[in-house]
A and B are shown apart, each in its own frame.
Chain A
Amino acid sequence: MSLERIKIAPELHDIMPEEYQDLVQRATYGNNSRGWKDIGTSKELIEEHSLCAGCPESMAFRYILASLPNPEDTVMVGSTGCTSLVFPHVGVHNIHSLFGNQNAIASGLKRALTVRFPDRAKDVVVLAGDGATVDIGLDMTLQAWFRQEKFTTICFDNELYANTGGQESGLMQKGFVAKMAPVGKTFEKVRLPEIARESGCHYVVNCTVSKPNLVEKVIKNAIHVAREIGPTYLQLYTPCILEIGKNSMEGLQEMRDSEKPTERFAYKEYISETAKELLTEIAAKEKERKAAAKKQLAEQTA
């Protein structure tokens, strides 16, 4: 279905740069079961980035973009920070909002898309840093949740303002000393996942991006719940290796260490009752779809 909409005009096909021909021919638009396993075998919606070498945000971007259930009908909203330098390379519609305003922009966008395309599912996904989500944009973040706006908020939590050189953020751990916060944080890491739950989010997860299958699962759940029910929130640990003094190969281990059961990124999930019903329904349909596809394949090969 969706591939019919993403078509190059035949008369101008030969002048289109290879990158765009690839996006049409080898990307996974319209593939119901697209996910992280397509990475490496199909055209990705991001291939180059401007992050530091080995920055876990780059892994997170790849897994998230591979897992969007509906990329051709998704608009992402970014904010200033390390992530904003990546968005120009992303093959999904995206809007750069003024720092902190991302959830306000996404609210208006989602409402406008609903009016403009009443018969088509349009997903809006905010992706911003912890400074944008929890400090300067906290008002917009919370108000969108209070109003039950139907979009997903993803926070790339690297526990400081990375892009501006390491200032203190609300999500920084107590006692942490950063390059531009030499005194050390004097209060606890803000408990945004709990605040999200109390503010009306129907699906909340706190985790790292060390496991691609987990990222795929939570992204799909969060987007489906936001589409049908109301706001959802994902807080993903994407450590700033530059600021915590790790080299480019150490990001993954840092995430693994921080997701141990007693650590601050131990997997934490909250799902509202209505969201639970929806996800059970979706899982049942998915099972049916897979069984039918398997049966069809068996019949074809028989």
Chain B
Amino acid sequence: MNTQYKVMPGPEHFLPPSASSMGIRLPDPGQGHIHGSIVPEEEAMEAAARQILQGKVPTIFPGPLVLWAWNEKAAQKAKAIRELFETIKECAASSQQPMLIPMPDYRPKYPKINPEIEINPNHPNLTIWHNKIDVCMFVGVHCHQANLSLKIIRGGTNCYTIAMCAQAGHEDAMLTFRDATAEKILRLSEWVRKLKGSVEPPSN
């Protein structure tokens, strides 16, 4: 379906529409989407790696599905996420400050969220504003909470959002992967390594 709506960095406005209500659809297996347009997964990989290398504060937000070692698969994903983060740090220019900030659970922690060390899906913008995060990747966050959070981020910040989703992907992210596995996360890490030096880093 052709659509005029593009899922772009905000601030869009106080209550941005859900992207699906604007006609954005989810990718099929082997695909991703960028700004709502379906692309082959490899293209999404490259675009995500570029965003990460261009961001001043590229940040990974691991959620409860990977922070807690529920099973072997979750533990493997956690390992891959750590490796991705170490790769980003290694490849980052001096003008970049990569971060790894957890979303341990979904309790609406009013009013005591500490934005330096955690993010909460009910007010994710607090963490994004505080750390001046301009590119982020969600991984291991249950779909409903991720959608809620991605929409709030689009509404109130100019942060570029990437979703590494283990299910069918997220319309509300600016770029999404689906069927995430540890291998897929590591492939993104390879893309970051591969593109290092070929992407203009942010100015100081």
Contacts and interface: CB of A to CB of B under 8 A. Distances in A.
B62 A88 contact: no
A90 B106 CA distance: 11
A3 to B, nearest CB: 12
B107 A16 contact: no
A9 interface: yes
Interface in A194-242: none
A290 interface: no
A9 B104 CA distance: 11
A268 interface: no
A39 interface: no
B100 interface: yes
Contacts of B13: none
A48 B111 CA distance: 11
Contacts of A267: none
B183 to A, nearest CB: 16
Q: Give the top 5 A-B pairs by smallest Cβ distance, nearest first.
A: A9-B78, A11-B82, A7-B69, A9-B69, A11-B78
Given A11-B78, A88-B110, A16 B67 contact: yes
Size category, B interface: 20 to 34
Given A9-B69, A88-B109, A16 B75 contact: no
Contacts of B68: 6-9
Interface residues of A, number: 17
A20 interface: yes
A12 B107 contact: no
A46 to B, nearest CB: 11
Contacts of B100: 12, 15
B107 A89 contact: yes
Interface stretch (B47-55, B112-120, B155-163): B112-120
A17 interface: yes
B117 A17 contact: yes
A245 interface: no
